[in-house]
Amino acid sequence: MNDSSFDGVATAAPSGRTRNRVTLLCEEDVLGQAIAATLTRDGAELTRAPCAAGAIDTLRAAPPDVIVLESRSHDAIALGLCQAIRQSRELDQVKLLLLQDSGRPIDRRRASAMGADGFLAMPFAMAALRNEVGRLLGG
């Protein structure tokens, strides 16, 4: 499902290069809307999908450059999805940013062990999200 603020068509960025593709897996609507608005304003081609059983198939069908995955502590579905992403040949090079409601050191270590390339504890500033996505994209 594409975010309503994005028309779903890959367009060229002002510099003439293709826009960075970001897939947002987020169950919380208000947070998802804020993230979508921030990243599309920054020029990303954004697709939203639920953190559900079919998410891995959606990701494999059209691998993005970055996956932003919202997760609650002890969220077995999101953590399982994180592992499935890392075990998938089609997605093993995709950068993965985990947004979690806890920033305890053990949660950060768990995210890293599950294959996350980046981690932000909620709540976070949108500037921190921009910086982390930019870092993952190599910018």
Residues β-bridged to residue 48: 24
Q: How far apart are CA 24 and CA 26, in angstroms?
A: 6
Determine the pLDDT at residue 14.
43
Residues ≥6 apart with Cβ < 8 Å to 6: 36, 40, 45, 46, 47
Give the tens place of pLDDT for each residue, 16-36.
446 899 999 998 899 999 999
Q: How far apart are CA 80 and CA 87, in angstroms?
A: 10
Q: Could you give phi then psi for residue 110, rounded to 5 degrees?
A: -65, -45
Domains and CATH numbers, the chain: 21-125 (3.40.50.2300)
**Among 3-7, 37-41, 73-77, 105-109, whose mean pLDDT is lowest?**
3-7
Burial of 117 (0-12, 13-18, 19+ CB in 10 A): middle
Give the tens place of pLDDT for each residue, 89-98.
999 999 999 9
Burial of 77 (0-12, 13-18, 19+ CB in 10 A): middle
